[in-house]
Structure 1
Amino acid sequence: MVSFGVVSLAADMAYEGARSISGPLLGALGASAMVVGLVTGAGEAMSLLLRLAFGPLADRTGRYWSLTLVGYTLTAVCVPLLAVAPFVGGAGLALACGLILTERAGKAVRSPAKTALLAQAAGAVGRGRGFAVHKALDQVGAFTGPLLVAALAAATGLIWPAMAVLAVPGALAVGLLLWIRLRVPDPAAYDTERAAPPAAASRPPTALGRWFGADLPRRFFLFAAAAGAATAGLVTFGIISFHAHRTGLIPLAGIPLLYAGAMAAAAVAALASGYLYDRWSGRVLLALPLLGAAVPALALSGSVDAVVAGALLWGAAVGVQDSTVKALVADIVPAARRATAYGVFAAVQGLAALAGGGLVGALYTRSLPTLIAVLGATQLLALGLLAATLTPRRASSPRG
C-alpha cells in the first residue's frame, strides 16, 4: 500500500498541480465560465466514463499492471505539455482543453486496474484503513504539487513555467511504478480474504451484459446511483478557482494554495472516514452528501473566508469519494469482478460529473441562488439513495 501510495504521491504532484490552476489557465487563454465548467466537468466525466471500458478489460485480460502504467504515462506527458499552450496563439485554448481531457483519459485507463491491485493489497490490513493510507499518501502529492505551482506563479507571474516543471514528478511516478512492478508482480498474495463467488441471477447475462456489469449485485447499482448524485451535486474546483480569481477574492498565486489546503483536507477526511469505515461500515458515508451540499453556498460566495471554507469542505468530500467509497464497492462486489465494478461505478459518476459540470457552467452566470438550490436538492437525493443502499436486506434476496 505504501509503495503504491508513493507512486500516487508523485503523480498527484503533476496532475493535481495542473488541476489546481486549470480554471485561471483556461480563463487566461480566453475561456468563459461555461467553457471552464464544461471542460472540467467533461474531464472528470472522461476519467470516470471510460473506466466502463477499461475496468472489464483489466478483468478479462489480467493486464492490471500494463493498464496502470499506460495511464500514468499519459498523465506524465500531458501535464508538462500544457506549458506550450500560451505560445500557439489562437490554438492555445483548444490545445489546453485537449491536453486536460487526455490527461483525464489516462486516469480512466489506469484507475480500475490500479484500484483492483490496491483492493488485493489492502485485504491484509482492512480495506477502509488500506485505502485511507493510500489516499493520505496520494494527498501529500496533491498538497505539494499546488504549492510548487503557487511558488512558481508568484515568482514569475506566469502559469506555464509551473506546468513545465511538473514533468519531473510525472517521470518519477512512472519510474517508481516500473520498479514496484518488478518487486511485487502479484499483489493478490497479500489478500488474506477469500471472496465469495457472485450470486447467480435467475437468467445468466449475455457476454455483452457481463462486460457492462449486468451480473453485479443490485445493491452495487443502488450505491452507484447514490454516488452519482453526490458527484453531480459537487462543483468542480475549476469553477471554484474561476470564481475566486474572477471576483478578485484570491490572487492568481493564491489559487494553488487554496487547492493545496483542499487536498490537505481531503487527506484528513480520507484517513478519518477510512478508520471509521472499518468500525462503523458504510454508515460513515452518510456524511458525504452533507459535505457536498454545503460547498457551493460557501465556495461561490463573495467572502474570502467563505470561499476558503467551501474549498476545504470540497476537499473533504473529494477525499471521502476517492477512498472510503471504493472500500464499500470492494465489500459489495466479488474479487473477480472488482475492476469491472469500479469501471461501471466510475461510468455512473462520469455521466453525473458531465451533467453537473454543464449545469453549473450554465447557471453560474444566470443565478447563483438557483445553482446552490439545485445542487442542494441533488445532494438530498444522494442522501436518500445512500440510506437505501445501507438499509439491511433479507438474506433471501436473490442478487445482493
Structure 2
Amino acid sequence: MRAVTETARRPWTPWRTVVAFGLVSLFADMVYEGMRSVAGPFLGTLGASALTVGLVTGAGEAVALVLRLVTGPWADHSGRHWRLTVVGYAMTAVCVPLLAVAPALGAAGVAVAAALILLERAGKAVRSPAKSALLARMAASTGRGRGFAVHKAMDQVGAFAGPLLLAGVAAATGVLWPGLALLAVPGAICLLLLLQLRRRVPAVADPDPDDAAERPAPDLAGEGRDGLVRRMVGADLPRELHLFSLAAALATAGLMTFGVMSYRFVEDGLVALAAVPLVYAAAMAVEAVAALATGDLFDRHGGRVLLVVPLVVAAVPPLVFGPTLLAVLAGVVLWGLATGVLDSTVKACVAELVPSRRRATAYGVFAAVQGLGALAGGALAGALATDHPLLLTGCVAVLQVLSFGLLARLTLSARRGRPAA
C-alpha cells in the first residue's frame, strides 16, 4: 500500500507538468477570457461611456501587471509560489461569476462591475509571477520557448471556449449576465485541478543547475526600506531586462484592449452584440497558433523573432477602425497574433535574461512596466477611438517605431556576443 501511495505522488516529468499547467489555465481562461470578451459591451449595457470602458479595461490590465512588483519579490523571498498561485486563481473563479449581479444593481451596476473586473485582474497579478517562475524552471529541459508556447496554446483553448459559451448563452437569452454566472463551473474545475497539480509538482525554491553556484539571494528583511524598494523595482537586475521591458511596454501601449475595439465596432453596427464573443474566440485561436510558432522560432533563433511585433501592432488600428467587416476581422487577427507573442514568447526571453532565484521578481518588474504601457494605451485608445481614429493610428505608429528601435538594439547586442546577465 505504501508503494502505491509513493507511486501516486511521484513528481511529474517536465512535459507532463507543462501540460498540467495548461489544463489549469485552460479552465481559468474560460472564466476570465469569457468575461473579457464581453467586458466592453457589458459595461456599455450598464451605461458606461467609451472613455469609461477604456479606463476600466486599461486599468484592469495595468493592475494585472503593475501589482506584480509586489507579488514577484514576495514569491521569491517567501518561497510560497503555490499559495500565491491558488489564491490568485480563486479570486478569478469568484469575481467573474459575481458580475452577473451587476445589472440588478441599477445605477451602482457600473461601479460594482468595474470593481469586480479590477479584483479579477488583481488575482492575475497575485498568481502570475509565481506560476511563471515554476513554469520556467520546469521548462528548462523542454526548451523554454516551446514550454511557454505549449502552455499558452492550451490555455488559449479555454480562451476560445469561454467566449463561445458566452456567445451561445447571449444568443439564447438576449443578455450577457446568465453566461457570466455560468462561468462558475469552469472556475470550480480549475481550482480542483490546481490542488491535484500541487501534490505532484516539486517546489521551485531550488535554483536551476546553471545557477547553483551563485550566491544565495540576500535577506530582504535586513536591507532596510531603501534596499527593499530597490530590489522590488529590479535595480539589481540586468540592464538588458529593463530595456526589453520598455520595448514590450511600448508595443503593449499601442495594442488596444479588446474592450475598446469591440465597443467601437458594435457602436458602428459592424458586429452584432451576440457575435462579439465569436470574434474574440477567433482572436484567441490566432493567439494560440502565434504562441506555438514564435515559441519554437525563439528556441531556434533567439530574440530576433520579436522584431515582427511592432510591425504587426502598427497595422491593427487602421484595420479595426475600418469601414468594413472584412477590415475589422483582419485587424482582430493581427491583434491576436501580437497578443500571443506578448503573452508567451516574451516570458521565455525574460527567463533567459535573469538567474532563477530572481525570476519571479524579474517577471514582476517586466509586467509592471508593461502594465504602465497598458494603462496609457487604454486611456489613449478610449479618448481617441470614437472621434479621432486617425490620430490614434498615428500615435500607435510612433510608439511602435520606438519599440522596434529598442528591440533591434538588443538583438544587435546579443549577436555581437555581449552577455545578457
User: TM-score normalised to the size of structure 2?
Assistant: 0.91
Alignment-derived partner of residue 174 in structure 2:
157
Partner of 2:377: 356
TM alignment of 1:375-386, pairs within 5 A:
375-386=396-407
- Structure 1 distance, partners of 2:232, 2:164, is 41
Alignment of 1:275 with 2:275, yes or no, is no
Q: Give the match for residue 145 of structure 1.
A: 162
Contact 1:36–1:361, Cα closer than 8 Å, also in 2: yes
Separation of aligned partners in 2, 1:170 and 1:39:
23
Partners of 2:92 and 2:300 lie apart in 1 by 35
Equivalent residue number for residue 207 of structure 1: 228
Secondary structure of residue in 1 paired with 2:256: coil
Consecutive unaligned residues of structure 1, counting only runs of 5 or more, are none
Q: Deviations over 1:47-67 (max 9, x none)?
A: 000001100000000000000
Residue correspondence of structure 1 range 279-358 to structure 2 within 5 A: 279-358=300-379
2:39 maps to which of 22, 41, 44: 22
CA distance in 1, matches of 2:58, 2:382: 9
> C-alpha offsets along residues 180-227 of structure 1, whole Å, 9 cap, x if unaligned?
0012132578966546748x9xxx993331232111000000000100
Alignment check: 8 A CA contact 1:124 1:190 kept: no
Q: Distance in 1 between matches of 2:310 and 2:132?
A: 23
Task: Report if the CA contact (8 A) 1:122-1:190 is conserved.
Answer: no
Distance in 2, matches of 1:183 and 1:118, equals 14
Amino acid corresponding to residue 394 of structure 2 in structure 1: A
Q: Which runs of 4+ in 1 moved over 3 A?
A: 187-198, 393-397
Cα deviation for residue 290 of structure 1 reads 1.0
Q: Which residue is 1:127 aligned to?
A: 144
- State the Cα deviation string for residues 37-78 of structure 1 (Å, max 9, x = none): 110000000000000110000000000000000000000000
2-structure distance, mates of 1:279, 1:396: 19
Give, in whole Å, the separation in 1 of the partners of 2:319 and 2:19.
Answer: 35
SS in 2 for 1:323: helix
Q: Which residue pairs with 2:388 in the alignment?
A: 367
Q: Are 2:88 and 2:126, in contact at CA under 8 Å, matched by a contact in 1? A: yes
- Taking the aligned partners of 1:385 and 1:174, their CA distance within structure 2 comes to 40
Q: Distance in 1 between matches of 2:258 and 2:401?
A: 21
1:253-272 equivalent positions in 2, closer than 5 A: 253-272=274-293
Partner of 2:106: 89
Kindly provide the CA deviation profile for residues 153-188 of structure 1, in whole angstroms up to 9, marking residues without a partner as x. Answer: 001101000000000011111111111001213257
| Aligned-pair Cα RMSD in Å | 2.0
CA 1:359 to 1:276, structure 2 compared with 1: closer, same or farther past 3 Å? same
Report % sequence identity: 61
Query: Which among 72, 78, 90 is matched to residue 89 of structure 2?
Result: 72
1:149 is aligned with what amino acid?
L
| Contact map agreement 2:211 2:355 (CA 8 A) in 1 | no
**1:301–1:195: structure 2 CA closer, same or farther, 3 Å change rule?**
farther
Question: Is 1:243 the equivalent of 2:260?
Answer: no
* Structure 2: runs of 5 or more not aligned: 1-17, 218-222
Is the alpha carbon distance of 1:38 and 1:52 closer, same or farther for their aligned partners in structure 2, counting shifts above 3 Å?
A: same
Structure 2 counterpart of 1:56: 73
Kept in 1: contact 2:50–2:382 (CA 8 A): yes
Contact 1:122 1:191 in 2 (8 A): no
Counterpart residue number, 2:126: 109
Instruction: Report the number of matched residues.
Output: 396
Q: How far apart, in 2, do the equivalents of 1:335 and 1:292 lie?
A: 31
Q: Distance in 2 between matches of 1:323 and 1:396?
A: 24
Alpha-carbon distance between aligned partners in 1 of 2:207 and 2:147, rounded to the nearest angstrom? 12
| CA distance in structure 2 between the aligned counterparts of 1:190 and 1:165, rounded to whole angstroms | 41
Once the two structures are superposed, what CA deviation does each residue of 1:108-141 show, in whole Å capped at 9, x if it has no partner? Answer: 0000000001001101100000000000001000
Question: For residues 60 and 192 of structure 1, what CA distance do their matches in structure 2 show?
Answer: 19
Aligned residue identity for 2:282? G
Q: 1:168 to 1:112 in 2, by over 3 A?
A: same
